[in-house]
Amino acid sequence: MQLRMLSPQTTYAAYLVFKLEESRGLDCSAKASIKLVKENSATEIEKETNIVYIVTPTDDRYRGRGSIPVRDAIRGRFSQRRLDGWMELELGEFFIGEGLDEVILSFTSPKEACRAAAVSPAFNSAANSDTMWERFLPSDYKNIIGRSVSPVTYSTKKELYFMLCKSPLLLDGGKLSFRLSKPDGRKCYMLCARALHISWGDTPRFDEVAHLLSVWWLEISGLMQLRMLSPQTTYAAYLVFKLEESHGLDCSAKASFKLVKENSATENEKETNIVYIVTPTEDRYRGRRRRGVPARDANHAIEGRFSRKRLDRWMELELGEFFIGEELDEGEVQAELLETEHGIWRHGLIVEGIEFRPKESKERD
């Protein structure tokens, strides 16, 4: 398609239009991509490839996922029926700027937008325009920054985007923090300590974080509204914490998820995971391995999830993960860490919060 034939200042999408007739073997994944090619030039800017399905796979192909609809269990773009009786499958989309030579795909990542601007001056205007960078921001970004405890000032949408990636905003009086995943602009939230339900058999001390006193049992949980998160995304929840002269935290604990629908008494409880805030040592599991070897490295002597150090010098422990489909539910997801069985004294845990972020994203991109 020649770009000059299209309308400026417009986001276009390309669709494969088709019908099926006694089809077979079309429910496998395929790759769709768009390339923008300059006339009289051998150079091209290849855009990010999308995974697409001409026919939505059935449970027979993805057996074992239970009652979860297949299009909610796998990622990709699916075909849909048109009003004229044909089917269509979106292959990708692109944005045409004020000049018809200013073109960039609006679904590409911010990284590719910056690369396009660097590759050719002809793409610079569109790649840095507010129109383009607003598409990388969440649709409700104005509402989000309006809830910030401090003023948010910026001159361009691109500046705002990278500001939200680098510096999390404190929202709702400091009970919640928000940032963007730098590669793709998906939402990351942290329920701060004040927003968590924490039962420690005693009253914890709160500053901006929660300090664990000497207690026998431990329960930490938080609720996140599903509609606040990004659609078509696998999220994971992480307990973010530090240790200070800790004791008794190397026992196994249980981490679980519950998806709770509003105005409904039913719950869909996720599988419980075994987790360890502190990796057990030889002293606790004597005889299972050579002295001095951490349990996580000794022939998998124990099973479970272990904490790891973050780039910001805090620790994090993955509690579990869940997938959000195309439509955001008006419900909540509850993440919980529970340990009430070992009956030992423990202290020295400092909790910053529970972070919900896309599974493949880092704690700081």
Q: What is the 3-state secondary structure (H, E, C) of 293-340?
A: CCHHHCCCCCCCEECEECCCCCEEEEEEEEEECCCCCCEEEEEEEEEC
Domain limits, the chain:
3-109, 175-358
Query: For residue 138, what are the CA distances in angstroms to 133, 157, 164?
Result: 10, 12, 11
Judge whether residue 103 has pLDDT over 70: no
How confident is residue 120, by pLDDT bands cut at 50, 70 and 90? low
pLDDT at 284: 56
And the tokens for 206?
Answer: 């709160």
Most confident of 69-73, 118-122, 326-330: 326-330
Contact 141, 156 (CB under 8 A): no
Grouping H, G, I as helix, E, B as strand and the rest as coil, residue 78 is: strand
DSSP 253-270: EEEEEEEEETT-S-EEEP
pLDDT in tens, 223-237: 999 999 998 899 999
Distance (Å, whole) CA 235 – CA 224: 12
CATH class of 175-358: mainly beta
pLDDT at 92: 84
Q: Of 331, 146, 319, nearest to 237 (Cα)?
A: 319
Say which range, 98-107, 137-146, 183-192, 194-203, has the weakest mean pLDDT: 98-107
State the alpha helices, DSSP H only, in the chain: 70-73, 110-119, 124-127, 130-136, 141-146, 157-166
Please indicate, yes or no, whether the overall pTM of this predicted structure exceeds 0.85: no
Question: For residues 326 and 182, which has the higher predicted lDDT (pLDDT)?
Answer: 182
Neighbouring residues of 185: CB distance < 8 A, sequence distance ≥ 6: 110, 136, 137, 138, 161
- What type of residue is 45? I
pLDDT in tens, 123-150: 666 677 888 889 899 999 999 999 999 9
Question: For residues 112 and 138, which has the higher predicted lDDT (pLDDT)?
Answer: 138
How confident is residue 206, by pLDDT bands cut at 50, 70 and 90? very low
Q: Up-side HSE of residue 144: CA atoms within 13 Å toward CB?
A: 22
pLDDT in tens, 62-85: 544 444 445 555 678 899 999 999
Grouping H, G, I as helix, E, B as strand and the rest as coil, residue 159 is: helix
And the tokens for 259?
Answer: 């998806």
